[in-house]
Every structure is written in C-alpha cells, then in structure tokens.
A and B are shown apart, each in its own frame.
Chain A
C-alpha cells in the first residue's frame, strides 16, 4: 500500500468515488469492503475539514482519547455482521447510525448536519491531535498516514468478522482510561497489545492459512525500508516484529500474546487479556469441536460458554467496546504502512467468509427462532470457525479426504406417508441415521421430514457452500404431476412408482451429503438429521421464496454465462467443463434409453400377464387332459415370469435410470461449481479493471497537480489493490476447491456406478437362476403330454 500511495499521490474526485461506493453497495457480498472504504474516507478527511469543531463527545465516560468517534464508526461497521447484538448494546450509543452512516462518510467534506457526524468528525480530529501529542515529533504526513493506516487496520478489524469485532470489544473502559494517561510507552504497549490481539485474531482464524503467516514474516524487513519515522519504527522493531515473529513460529495466538504483554501489559490489560484468553480458548474450543466434527446444534456445551461471554460483553457498554477497538487500531496505525498492509491482508483473508456469514446471519434473522440476541452472531462465528477450517482441511489434506470417504454413517429414507388431504397434502418420510461417528449423540436416530425440508436443506447448503466451489448434491426435483396425482389420491401403479422413486432419490441425496466430508460438518445437515422438529419457516421458504429465487438465479446465471466470456487460462478447467457438458448430454441420452428400456420391460410384464391369462383359458378349453394340464401349468409359469419381468423393470429403474438421473442432477451441480469459479474470476477481473481505472485517475490528477485529491486516489488504489489480491486469492481458492471437488465427484461416480452395476448383475443373475428353476419345473410337464 505504501509503495502504491507513493507512486500515486493525487487524491480522488469525490463524485467518482461515490459512484464506486454506490456500485459496490449494490453487490451485497462486498459490503464488508464497502464499510471499510467508507470509514477510510471519512477519517482521512476529518483532520482536514473538521479540525476546529469542538463538540464534546458526551456519551463517552472516558473519552478524551478520541476513540469514541471512531468507535461510533466502528460500531456501524460491526453492524452488518452481528446486528442483533450491536443493535441492542451498541445501538444505545449510536442510536441512528448504521443507515445514515454510509451517507455520512460519503459527505464528510460537507458541514456535518447530523449530531453523530459532528461528534464523529470532531472526535476524530481530537483523536488525531491527541495522537500527535503522544507520538511527539511525528511529521504531518506521517500523522496522516497513520490515520490512514489506522483506518485500514480498523477496517480490517471490523470488516473481518464478528469474531474479530468480538475480541476487539474485550478490553474494558479502564484499560482505555489508563491509556489516555500513560506516556508514549503506554501507547506502544497498547499498540503491542492491540497488534497482538489483532494478530491473534487473524492467526486464530487463519491458523492454517499460510499466506498470512508468510506476510507476517515479510512485514518487519519491509517496515525497515519504508518507515518514514525512525522513532516509531524502533517501537515496532521491538514490539511489533517480535510479536509477529512469535505467532508465526508457534501459530498459536494465545501463547505469544501472553508473553508479549509482559508485566506492564498485564496490569493495564489484565481484564481484556483475560477476556481475550477466554476468547481464544473459546475459539480453540470451536476449532476443536470442528475437528471432532460436532454439530453446532450439538455443541450446546462449548457454545454456551461463548454465548455467556458475548452477553457479558454486550452488557459492558458499547463505548468500551469501540473505544478499545479504536485504541487498538490507532496504535496499529503507528506501526506503519507495512502493518497496515498486513491488516489489509488480514482483511482479505477474513472477508473471504464474510459474505457467507452475512447471508447466513440474515437467514437466521429470518428464522427468528433464536431468542437470545447474541445467538446469531455467535453462531456466525461458530459456523465461520467451523466452515473455514473444514474448507482448509479439505484443501490441505488429501489423505484425510480418503479417510473421510469411508464415513461410518448410513442414512435411510423410509415409510413415505401422505399427510393431510386435498391440495394441502404432502409426503413425509422417515429419515433414519445409523452412525458410529462421535459427533452424533446417538448411534441411531430417526426424524420425520417432509419433502420441502429436503429442498430447504439443499438451498441452505447451496448458499453456504456453493460459492466456495463445493458440489452440493441436489435433491430430486419437485414433480407437480406426480405430486398432484398423489394428492388426488389415485393409488395406481404410476403413483406408487413415483413415491418409491422419490424416496430412493431422497435417500441417495442424503447419503451423498453425509458422505461429503465438508457437508457433513454443516450444522444444518446435522440439524436435519437429528433435530426432532425443524422450524417450519425454513420449509415454507424452501417452498416459495427459495424456489423462486433459484429460478431467478438460474436466469441470471444463464445471462451472465452468455455475457461473461471467460478467458480461461487453466486448460484443466476448460477440458473439464467440456467433459462435463458432453457427459451431461450422454447421460441424458442414456437416461432416455434406459427409460424406454424400462417402459418395454413393464410392457413385457403386462403382456406376459395377458398371455398367462389366455393360456389359462386355452388350457381350460382343451379336451386333451394332458395338454390341458400342461397349459394350465404354463399359465402359472407365465404368471411367475410376469413377476420376474416386473422386478426386472424395477431393477432397471433403480439401478440405471435413477442412478443416471442422479448424475444428470449432479452434473448440474458440477456446472454450478464451475459457474461459481467463473464468478470469482469475474470479480477479480472487475477489480483489476477498477484498479486500472483508479491508477489512471491518479495519473491524471498527478498531471493536473491536485495534491488534495491525490491522497484520496492513493488510498483508493491501495484499497483496490487489496481487493484485487483478495479476489485473486479467492478465485484461486475456489479453483482449488472446484478441482478437488470434481476429482472427488469423478471418483465417486466411478465407484457409484461400479457398485450399482454389481448389485444389478447380482439381481440379474438371481432372476436368471429363478428362471432356470421355472423352466426346469415345467419341462417334465411338457414331456408328459403325449
């Protein structure tokens, strides 16, 4: 970031900036980034425009340290991620913030109309002043930079996830007060602490993510080179680099933090540290629980703890929360641009999951079946902690995958039952699970689910795992005709056939999900299998809203597929996509052929039955006693054959037709994962284009010699560079996942087909042997005629 900003000084024209912001706000998944940018803008402008506003920040009990302003900002930032909590606790302080905030930050240059704005700007100004004092002889440029950096860091901290914000809130007001009083050393300490806690968070989250660790190790040397102020640098050489070195080595955030803090820190931050420790313990707990594959729902124990923690924190008023966060970020700012970069990186890594978490949270809000306010954010954190390691596990360990393929879990769907009458009727199935996995409370359990529940599960899984490139096994489609027949209550062979087919398809669908190492970890899956009653809201949503949404998504997908002309660099994907396309066509053809085979088999069964009947008649009409007897024997034989043919038809249906139908659906999912990868690519490309544009703007500004806007442009470029890096990473991650998933899919496909064919041949053999028995029994009868 520093390098880029040096290269491109002139700031941005506001109008364009706003455009960018607007456009980004449209794309919901980037909302975290938006917020970061908003903040970024507002704070950088503050020192320049609002220096002399002297509104006291009344709300803060210990506010001299200017943290409240930023705190106000950070709260709204937190908002999108864990709104229920924040709305209740932090909401007191920032009564009307989140909505207005975007506007606020966009219009900082204008006189602040809103109380909150003024307060924010004002205190921001104070903050920079104070900061200046504390640091002593720092240049204006540095200060500015510091602010920038600090904002970045803040953005990083806030944009990341609720976890980050959660831990940020840990230090209580007392710590902050002392900070105010203390000398620069204290600040350094705080910086050390904050950086520690910040790094602890990323490292906690990204323990397994190597890139960040690498970055951390790179940071100190580069800090040397680029630092403008020697004194500040020293500070960081001492504390910061050590700090970074240690987490890198041990990868455990908890330990280094402890050692770093030393005595003074302990005094100062005794409580926060404790909280942080607790936090990390919790986190570890969660991680552990992930590794032992316990469901979030099951996790009542471990989760309860964090819940308490959260609620406690919610009680400790919002000011405290955000104050500390500002302190941290501020002091982080002192660390120099390199660290800002680091945090930017952290942001990158963290925000990978944020869209998902956000969406998940939204959903949970919709569900609204969680009374505790802290629960949503909690489970977000939990699911994040869980899903990410799961994903990373997937990426990292191939062997493990092999292991997990042999999961000892069997799901069966039984007893389809029509519930209700008329058009409100629906089918319910018994879902029985047999498992020896430790993450389930029981070895066997059975729940009752209706068809729409199965669909709802799929929707949830798709939303969560689809964008990451996972191939989510699809359930059978809704079948209006079949279902209407069911509802009308026509109990003919076609409707029983329909029910049986669907039952089988649902069973295979669930089995595929639990066979998937990552999907099995999903709390929704476990909830689906274990929980006695699923919230009805989910299924209704699956019925109406989601179905409709899916339709729209499909339509937009089709459009984007046409418009996005992906410049495929990876031959593997190109080939695979073609393979998938052709496999899809072939499977469709095969399916049609098998279906016609099944139709003929059924026809044969029917014809055999009528032949049996006519033979019986012929036998009864026959005068010759021996012949008559033989003919009636023949009629019996044909009756048995009819049953054989019928079994054969069923066998063909379930061995081939349904298997192939499954794979046609699965290929759709494979294609969807390719699409998700393409979308990630597109996002990356768009970001690159945007970055290019920003650089051009910067060059223009440089040419026009507009230093005031140059700074803004620089910052934006840094922002976009971070985004480009993030999206590229994102894309690569999705690519890796897709690749792995496709390989897994193919392996599964071969295995599945083989097993199915073996079963098929076994039954074929059996029926032939049965046939032999029949003929052998009939032969003497025929010979006895004469």
Chain B
C-alpha cells in the first residue's frame, strides 16, 4: 500500500482551500468526522467519513515521504491531539480549546489542518492526501508501521541537541525566537482558555439563578404577591439573557481568538520540531565531516560519500526550512489578525445586543407598577 501511494505523485483532484469538516458523529469512544471537499473538475463533492486513526495514517504518510528532498525542513501542519470522548481533566488540558463544546472547535481545527495539508506545495502531491480526501474506504483502519514518526520520537530523547550552536545565524535567531514564542503563546492560550471556562461557569450560574427564580413565583390573587412574582419572572428573563450573552461571549472567544491562539501555539510547536529536525541533521552532518576527516584511507571514500549525502540533505532541508519559515511568518500574522478582528467584531456585536437587552429590561422594570 505504501508503495503505490508513493509511486503516484499527481495533482490533488479537489480544492484544498474549501475542505470542510461538516459533521461529527459520536460512536462509542470514537469520533467520526464527515469531510467534504469540492472537485477541481467541475461540480460535485467528495463526502468521506474519517476517524482519528485515518488522520494519523495520513500524518504518517506525510512524514515518511522519502522522495521529497528536504522533507525535514517542512513545517508539518500540526494535527490536533487525539480527541477523547470522555474528557478527563488531563485530556481536557491536552486538548485545550479543542475539547470545548460539542467538538465544533475540534472540527474547525481538523479542517484547518486538512486545508493546510492540501494547500501545501510539497505535501499536497502525496497520494495519501488524495486517498484521505476522496477514497470511500477508510484508509487508516489497519495498523501501519511507524518509520519516520518513530525516528522523530527517538529524536525527542536527544533533547540535548536542542542547545547545539547553529552554523547559520538566521536559523539560530529563528530557534531563539521560536523558543520564546512557543512559551508565550502556550501561556496566553492557556490563560485565555481559563477565561473562557470561567465565562462558561458564569453562564451556567446565571442559568441556575434564572431557573431558581422561577421557583419563587407564587400563585395567588394578591396584587403584592403578583407584583413580586412578576419581578421574579422578569429577573429570571434578565438572567437568562445574561446567560445567553455570556455563552455567546465565550463562544466568540473560542471560535476566534481561542482557535487562533491554539493554532498559533501548535504551529509554533511544529516549527520548533522542524527546527529541531534540522538541528539533528546538522549534528549528523558535523559528525559525518569529522569521521570523514579521521577516516582511514580504506574507508575514506565511503565516508566522503556519507558526508556528501548529508551535506546535500542538510542544504535541502535548510532551503526548504527557509521557505517554510517565511511562509509561516506571513500566514501566522494573517491568521492572528483575522482571529483578532473576527473576535473583536463578534464581541462588539454581542455587547451591543446585550446592551440593547438590558435597556429593554430596564425600561420594563421601570414601567412596572
């Protein structure tokens, strides 16, 4: 299967920019996503259902392309963490914003991932993407052997390489900047998530309050009692609308800035990984150079061979990485700007709506006998 995938490198038969995750179905512990993509050739759509296993399958294929020079220089679009249906506190922390609501934020994030993959110059050529988006058979249901992915996780153990001095000033600066940004973004995302969670709690509390006020309503002819009951009902309505207002504030936060920060945070991580892979290659290259110098004449040729290969690979990676970083920087700012503007606009709308509502209720209360 792997072979045929790699053999075929053709253009994607669907548009990458408008892939949609339209629905999510919960079946026991697994989530199934409905992915819709438009055909390049005329009208018509592909509707496929994919589980997280399929997503992992896709990611592994992307990682394990061997014919793409400088693959390690690619900032792979970050895959959202595995969704857990019965979200525990720990799982929640891992998922962050994506664990909120009824998986809509998760779908959004998955959608973004697929779009990024399908729009990526190097990645979209992979047959696996085509299969993932169009094949009616789910591709990832059987366990696949891990290759580059495994290598990656092994590499993770060699964290000491992270501090390795770079030969290139640009990359050294990028690495330093990335390190700071990763921390800051992650922190901001977590704080913002806390804000949202508290807003949700407030909404729930308002809802409870509103419901409890309904219990204060007393039946009876007594005008005083009726007046109080009316007040209770009205106040209950006020709190209900406050609840809705708070809910939409929270929702706005999640859908705009929340997802934006989350994506930014994951992308920073992806960039970090890419930079790390490159650093690993650099270390590998330097080792090859040293061994080529020290090598005995018998092995000298072979060592030189290895050194050459490493050098060319490293060059490729650096070239691709530079492109990727430039691309990422511009996209990142754009994405964040969109998130901020969208956030601001939505919150403004919500604030205006609720101000209107308060005004109406205020008039109603003032008009009460």
- A contact residues vs B (CB 8 Å cutoff): 579, 583, 586-587, 589-590, 593-594, 596-597, 600-601, 603-604, 607-608, 610-611, 613-615, 617-618, 621-624, 626-627, 630, 634, 656, 743, 746-747, 749-750, 753-754, 757-758, 761-762, 764-765, 768-769, 771-772, 775-776, 778-779, 782-783, 785-786
Closest to A785 in B: B337
A765→B351 contact, CB < 8 A:
no
A757→B365 contact, CB < 8 A:
yes
Which of B216, B242, B344, B352 contacts A586 (CB under 8 A)? B216
B188→A600 contact, CB < 8 A:
no
**Docked pose: A779 CA to B228 CA in angstroms:** 43
**Docked pose: A624 CA to B334 CA in angstroms:** 11
**B79 beta carbon closer than 8 Å to chain A:** no
> A interface, by DSSP: helix, strand, loop or mixed?
helix
Nearest chain A CB to B57's CB is how many angstroms away? 35
**Docked pose: A621 CA to B181 CA in angstroms:** 6
**Docked pose: A636 CA to B71 CA in angstroms:** 42
**B contact residues around A596 at 8 Å (CB):** 205, 208
Evaluate whether A785 and B340 lie within 8 angstroms (CB atoms) in the complex, with A600-B202, A611-B191, A746-B228 already known.
Answer: yes
Q: Within residues 213 to 250 of chain B, which ones have a CB less than 8 A from any CB in chain A?
A: 213, 215-216, 218, 222, 224-225, 227-228, 231-232, 234-235, 238, 242
Report, nearest first, the 7 A-B pairs whose CB atoms are least far apart. A768-B355, A782-B340, A785-B337, A611-B191, A597-B205, A775-B348, A765-B358
Nearest chain B CB to A411's CB is how many angstroms away? 25
Evaluate whether A786 and B228 lie within 8 angstroms (CB atoms) in the complex, with A600-B205, A757-B238, A775-B344 already known.
Answer: no
Evaluate whether A617 and B202 lie within 8 angstroms (CB atoms) in the complex, with A593-B209, A754-B368 already known.
Answer: no
**B185 beta carbon closer than 8 Å to chain A:** yes
**A contact residues around B198 at 8 Å (CB):** 600, 603-604, 607
Which of A610, A618, A764 contacts B185 (CB under 8 A)? A618
Closest to B204 in A: A600
A753→B228 contact, CB < 8 A:
yes
A-B contact pairs, 21 of them (CB 8 A): A589-B212, A594-B209, A604-B199, A607-B195, A608-B195, A611-B188, A614-B191, A621-B177, A627-B333, A746-B224, A746-B225, A753-B235, A754-B227, A757-B234, A757-B235, A765-B362, A772-B351, A772-B352, A775-B344, A785-B340, A786-B337
Evaluate whether A611 and B184 lie within 8 angstroms (CB atoms) in the complex, with A783-B341, A786-B334 already known.
Answer: no
A768→B195 contact, CB < 8 A:
no
Closest to A635 in B: B188
**B contact residues around A761 at 8 Å (CB):** 238, 358, 361-362, 365
**B2 beta carbon closer than 8 Å to chain A:** no
A750→B231 contact, CB < 8 A:
yes
**Docked pose: A782 CA to B209 CA in angstroms:** 36
Evaluate whether A604 and B192 lie within 8 angstroms (CB atoms) in the complex, with A749-B228, A757-B235 already known.
Answer: no
**A contact residues around B368 at 8 Å (CB):** 754
Evaluate whether A757 and B213 lie within 8 angstroms (CB atoms) in the complex, with A765-B362, A772-B355 already known.
Answer: no
**B contact residues around A656 at 8 Å (CB):** 209
Q: Within residues 181 to 195 of chain B, which ones have a CB less than 8 A from any CB in chain A?
A: 181, 184-185, 187-188, 190-192, 194-195
A593→B361 contact, CB < 8 A:
no
**B366 beta carbon closer than 8 Å to chain A:** yes
B194→A782 contact, CB < 8 A:
no
**Docked pose: A743 CA to B213 CA in angstroms:** 21
**A contact residues around B352 at 8 Å (CB):** 772
Which of A597, A630, A753 contacts B340 (CB under 8 A)? A630
Closest to A763 in B: B358
**Docked pose: A750 CA to B227 CA in angstroms:** 7
**Docked pose: A205 CA to B336 CA in angstroms:** 84
**A contact residues around B215 at 8 Å (CB):** 586, 589
Closest to A618 in B: B184
Which of B191, B232, B242, B348 contacts A607 (CB under 8 A)? B191
A597-B209, A786-B337 known; 8 new pairs, CB 8 Å cut-off, are: A607-B194, A614-B192, A618-B188, A621-B177, A754-B365, A771-B347, A772-B348, A785-B337
**Docked pose: A746 CA to B216 CA in angstroms:** 13
**Docked pose: A610 CA to B362 CA in angstroms:** 33
**B contact residues around A615 at 8 Å (CB):** 188, 191
B355→A765 contact, CB < 8 A:
yes
**B contact residues around A597 at 8 Å (CB):** 202, 205-206, 209
B181→A593 contact, CB < 8 A:
no
Evaluate whether A590 and B192 lie within 8 angstroms (CB atoms) in the complex, with A617-B187, A754-B365 already known.
Answer: no
Closest to B355 in A: A768
A768→B351 contact, CB < 8 A:
yes
Nearest chain B CB to A280's CB is how many angstroms away? 42
**Docked pose: A764 CA to B358 CA in angstroms:** 7
Closest to B216 in A: A586
**B354 beta carbon closer than 8 Å to chain A:** yes
**B contact residues around A750 at 8 Å (CB):** 224, 227-228, 231
Nearest chain A CB to B42's CB is how many angstroms away? 34
B228→A611 contact, CB < 8 A:
no
**B180 beta carbon closer than 8 Å to chain A:** yes
Which of B184, B222, B366 contacts A621 (CB under 8 A)? B184
**Docked pose: A590 CA to B347 CA in angstroms:** 29
B334→A743 contact, CB < 8 A:
no
**A contact residues around B354 at 8 Å (CB):** 768
B224→A743 contact, CB < 8 A:
yes
**B345 beta carbon closer than 8 Å to chain A:** yes
Which of A587, A757, A758, A782 contacts B337 (CB under 8 A)? A782
**B39 beta carbon closer than 8 Å to chain A:** no
**B201 beta carbon closer than 8 Å to chain A:** yes
**A contact residues around B361 at 8 Å (CB):** 761
Evaluate whether A776 and B365 lie within 8 angstroms (CB atoms) in the complex, with A603-B198, A627-B336, A785-B336 already known.
Answer: no
Nearest chain B CB to A776's CB is how many angstroms away? 6
**B contact residues around A601 at 8 Å (CB):** 202
Which of A611, A762, A769, A786 contacts B194 (CB under 8 A)? A611
A614→B351 contact, CB < 8 A:
no
A779→B344 contact, CB < 8 A:
yes
Which of A607, A610, A617, A747 contacts B224 (CB under 8 A)? A747
Evaluate whether A603 and B201 lie within 8 angstroms (CB atoms) in the complex, with A754-B365, A758-B366, A775-B347 already known.
Answer: yes
Nearest chain B CB to A634's CB is how many angstroms away? 7
**Residue from B177, B209, B344, B359 with most neighbouring chain A CB atoms (10 Å):** B344
A611→B192 contact, CB < 8 A:
yes
Which of B180, B231, B345 contacts A753 (CB under 8 A)? B231
**A contact residues around B187 at 8 Å (CB):** 614, 617-618
**Docked pose: A593 CA to B239 CA in angstroms:** 12
**B contact residues around A608 at 8 Å (CB):** 195
Nearest chain A CB to B337's CB is how many angstroms away? 4
**B contact residues around A753 at 8 Å (CB):** 228, 231-232, 235
A779→B212 contact, CB < 8 A:
no
B231→A768 contact, CB < 8 A:
no
**Docked pose: A604 CA to B345 CA in angstroms:** 21
A757→B194 contact, CB < 8 A:
no
Which of B177, B212, B343 contacts A590 (CB under 8 A)? B212
**A contact residues around B192 at 8 Å (CB):** 611, 614
**A contact residues around B199 at 8 Å (CB):** 604
Nearest chain A CB to B207's CB is how many angstroms away? 10
Closest to B232 in A: A753
Evaluate whether A583 and B216 lie within 8 angstroms (CB atoms) in the complex, with A607-B198, A757-B238 already known.
Answer: yes
**Docked pose: A607 CA to B200 CA in angstroms:** 13
Nearest chain A CB to B221's CB is how many angstroms away? 12
**B contact residues around A775 at 8 Å (CB):** 344, 347-348, 351
**A contact residues around B191 at 8 Å (CB):** 607, 610-611, 613-615
Which of A607, A614, A630, A768 contacts B358 (CB under 8 A)? A768
Nearest chain B CB to A594's CB is how many angstroms away? 6
**Docked pose: A762 CA to B227 CA in angstroms:** 20
